[in-house]
Structure 1
Amino acid sequence: MHSVALALYDGAMLFEAAAAVEVFGIDRSDLADPWYDFRVCGPSRGRVGDWLRVDTPHSLDAVVDADTVVVSSCDVEIGPPPGDAVDAVRAAHERGARIVSLCTGAFVLAEAGILDGRRATTHWMHAALLATRYPRVRVDPDVLYIDEGTVLTSAGKGAGLDLCLHVVRKDHGAAVANALARRLVVPPHRAGGQAQYVTAPVPDQAGQYGLADVLQWAQAHLHEPLTVRDLARRAGMSTRNLARHFHRALGVTPLHWLHAQRVHRAQELLETTDAGVEQIAARTGMGTAATLRRHFTRAVGVSPDTYRRTFRAPG
C-alpha cells in the first residue's frame, strides 16, 4: 500500500490540508484497492488556519518514511517556514519520497533546497516573493501545477485539489481519477499548463456560439478529424478570435486543448475497453496508431500499450 503523509506545521493553511485529506485520507477502496495508507503528521497542538489547533496522530518524524509527502501551504509573510518541517521534508526527499506541495507549501520545499534548479509554481500573488527569496528556483507564476516527476508544485486553493487528482491519475489511472472527481463535484481534469488567473470571462454574444458550447461539441466529436478551423466555424468566429478566447479562458491554444482531450479519451478507452490501438486512434480522431502513439507518449510519458498494462481495470 502506497503511504502518503500530510506534513502540517504551526501556521499551515486549512483549505489545502483539507483537500489532501479528502483525496488521500478517505477510504476509496471501492475505486482502487488498495487505496492509500494516509497519515497526518505535525507538532502537537499545531495551529492550522488562523483559529484551529489540531492534535495529529504522528509527529513530523513519520514524514521521512512515507512514499509521498504532501506539504500544505504556509503564511509566507511571517518569514521562513518552520525548521522542523523543512528538515523532515528534506529528509524524505533525500530518501526518495515523492514530494507534493500545495500553494505556498513550495516555500517549504525551496527552503529545503529541493527546488534548486527546478521549475516550480505557487499562488500567483506570492510567485515574485518565492523568486526573490530563492533565486535558484525557476518560478513559473502562470500555471496551475508543475509535475517534475518526484517533485510536484501547485498554485493556490483549487489548483492544489487539481494536483492531488493529478497524483491519483498517475497512481491509479484516468478512470479512477475521473470517478473521484465526480464524487467531489469538480472538473475531472485540468491540465497543469492552464493559466492560474483568468483575466476576463469569455463573452456569450448574441449571434455567436459561446465557448462552452464549442467545447462540449468538440468532446462529442473527437472521433472526427477536427481542426482549429472547424472549432472556429462552430463557434462562429475567426481562428484568431477563437485563439484569444481559449487563451483567456483556458490558458492554452485550441490545438493544445484538442490534443489533450484526445489523449484523455484514449486513456479512458485503454483502461475500460479491449479496443486495439488502431481502433482507439480512430475513436479519438488521431487517425492512425502511429499518430496516437506519438501524441500519447509525448503527453503521458509511456506508450499506450504500457499504459494499458498498468491501468487496465480488472475484469
Structure 2
Amino acid sequence: MHHMAILVTDNFPVFELGCALEVFSLPRQEISPWYKCDVISFDGKLLTSSTGLLMQVNEVTELLHYDILLIPGWDTDSRKIKLALAEQIVAFHSLNKRIITFCSGAFLPAQLGLLNHCKATTHWRYAELFKQRFPMVEYVDNVLYTQQDNVYCAAGSAAGLDLSLEIVRQDYGHEVANIVARRLVISPHRAGGQAQFVETPMPQKHHKFAKTLQWSIKKLNTISKVDDLARHANMSRRSFDRHFKASVGMPPKEWLNQQRIRLAKELLEHDRLSMDELASRVGFDNTVTLRFNFHKFVGISPSEYQQQFYQG
C-alpha cells in the first residue's frame, strides 16, 4: 500500500484536489491494496477553497511517514513558506520519496530549489511567471506532464488526471490503469509529451472570411496552396495574407495546416489508414509534411495519437 499525503493550504484549487481524490482516494474493492490518502495541511484544520468551499483536513507537523506527497496547487504570488513545511518537504525529497505536483503546485518545490536543473512544467498560463522566477529549472513548454527522478509535474487541470494514471500505471501496471481510466471515462493514456492544447483561432471579423474558411474546411484534400483561398476570397495574395493575419491572428498557411491536422486527428480516431492515405485525405503532399506538422501542433506522431485515441 502506498500512503499518500495530499497537501493543501488556504485558497486550494477544488478541481485539481478532486482529480487527486478521485484517482487515489476513492476505494477500489477490485484492486487491493490501493492507495491510502490523507488530505493534510500545515495551516490548520479548516481551510477555504478558491471557490469559497470550506473543508476540514488533517493538520500535521511532519511528512516523513508518508510514501508520496501530492501538491494539487500553490499560491503563485506567495514567496513565503512556513519553515516547518519547508524543512519537511526538503527532508522528504532527500529520502528520494515521490513528489507530485498539479498545475501551480510546481511553484512550491521550485521555490525550495528542488527543481533546479530538473525538467518541470506547469499550466501554460503560469509558464512565463514560472520561468522568470525559477531560471535554474529546465522548464518544458506545452507538455501534459514531466518526470525527472522522483519528481512529477502535471501541466494543470485535466493533465493532473493524465499524470495520475501514469502513476497508477507505474505502481500497478497497464491493466489496472485502464480499469481506473474506464471508471473515469477518459483515455487510458495520453503521453506526457503531448501538447497541452491545439489552438485554432477563428476570425474576430467573421464577415470577411467566413465563407472562405467554411469552403476551405470542406475542400482540404483539394486545396494545394494558400493562393486557392485568396482566389476564393477574390483578393490578391498579398492583400489576403495581410487581412487574414489581422483577422484570424495567424498566417493563412499556418491556419490551413492546423485545419489539416484537426481533420487528421478525427480520421485517426475512427479509421485505419496508411500514412500515405491520411496525408492525401487531409491535403498534405507527402507523409513527411504530415508527420512534421502533426508533431508541431500535437506534440506526438500520428501513430502515437491513434494508439491513444482510436475508437474503432
TM score, norm. by length of structure 2: 0.71
Give 1:171's aligned residue. Answer: 171
Residues 1:67 and 1:201: Cα distance change in structure 2 (over 3 Å): farther
Task: Point out where structure 1 has 5 or more consecutive residues left out of the alignment.
Answer: 266-315
Partner of 1:301: none
Does the C-alpha gap of structure 1 residues 177 and 11 become closer, same or farther in structure 2, counting only changes over 3 Å?
same
What is the correspondence of 1:24-39 to structure 2 with a 5 Å cutoff? 24-30=24-30, 32-39=31-38
Unaligned runs of 5+ in 2: 203-215, 222-259
Structure 1 counterpart of 2:53: 52
Structure 2 matches for 1:116-135, cutoff 5 A?
116-135=116-135
Which residue identity does 1:183 align to in structure 2? R
What's the offset of the Cα at 1:184? 1.1
Give the aligned partner of residue 205 of structure 1: 218
Aligned to 1:188: 188
SS at match of 2:218: coil
Structure 1 pair 173–204 and aligned structure 2 pair: CA distance change class (3 A): farther
Q: Give the deviation of 1:124 after TM superposition.
A: 1.1
Identical-residue share of aligned pairs (%): 34
**Correspondence for 1:246:** 294
- 1:232 pairs, out of 271, 279, 284, with 279
SS for the counterpart of 2:10 is coil
CA distance in 2, matches of 1:55, 1:87: 24
In structure 1, what is the equivalent of residue 95 of structure 2? 95
Secondary structure at the residue paired with 2:152? Answer: strand
Cα displacement (A) at 1:246: 2.5
Name the CA shift for 1:91/1:248 in 2 (closer, same or farther; >3 Å). same
Cα 1:25/1:204, change in 2 over 3 Å:
farther
Q: CA 1:26/1:58 → structure 2, altered by over 3 Å: closer, same or farther? A: farther
Higher mean C-alpha deviation, range 80-89 or range 50-59 = 80-89
Q: Which whole-Å CA distance do the structure 2 matches of 1:83 and 1:232 have between them? A: 57
1:108 match: secondary structure: helix
Compared CA separation, residues 53 and 242, structure 1 to 2 (3 A): same
Distance 1:229 1:107, change over 3 A: same
Structure 1 residue 253 displacement after superposition: 3.1
In structure 1, the residue corresponding to 2:106 is in which secondary structure?
helix
Q: Residue 10 of structure 1 contacts residue 82 of structure 1 at CA under 8 Å; is this kept in 2?
A: no
How much does 1:249 deviate? 5.4
Distance of 2:87 and 2:171 partners within structure 1: 26
Aligned residue identity for 1:229: D
More displaced, 171-180 or 204-213? 204-213
Q: Count residues in correspondence.
A: 254
Report how far residue 83 of structure 1 moved. 4.6
Which has the greater radius of gyration?
2
Which whole-Å CA distance do the structure 2 matches of 1:90 and 1:119 have between them? 18
Tell whether the 8 Å contact from 2:16 to 2:157 is kept in structure 1 after alignment.
yes
CA distance in 1, matches of 2:61, 2:201: 43
**How high is the TM-score relative to the length of structure 1?**
0.71
Change (3 A) 1:159 1:243: same
What is the CA distance between 1:15 and its match in structure 2?
1.3
Q: Alignment partner of 1:77: what SS?
A: coil
- Note closer, same or farther for the CA distance 1:47–1:206 as it changes in structure 2 (3 Å cut): same
Please state how far the C-alpha of 1:97 moved relative to its aligned partner: 1.2
